[in-house]
Structure 1
């Protein structure tokens, strides 16, 4: 999701509402408060991995770390991107 999409969806939100994060398939009571927003100054890499069955999964990581395990230059793609990290750690 891009920052512009978040801002558009939050336009009508109550500015005093609490922002929570809920992991996929988690119970709603397990949602955690977002405690910090990190504007990452360095570029990150997004790798798009394609599996044999046609599935696609994306991996995001700092550019300084090199390519992830399982990288296949014949079928996978990568690009640089700016990231914003929301964290529930204070």
Structure 2
């Protein structure tokens, strides 16, 4: 199972969370950034609708796959 780690840290004159190398918008307080990170992490775990998806890979080939809505990652949040 995939795991997504959210890290709350000082960033851009305030606080933000970072996941998969991408920063959120800045928040004025550590508490606000932590609340936003916990919300985002929780939303990642919510099951969705099963559906067929199509995507193009780096070599230009198209693929079609079935994506079960129950295939959700584990998440966690830490404060740095």
Q: Normalization by structure 2: what TM-score? A: 0.32
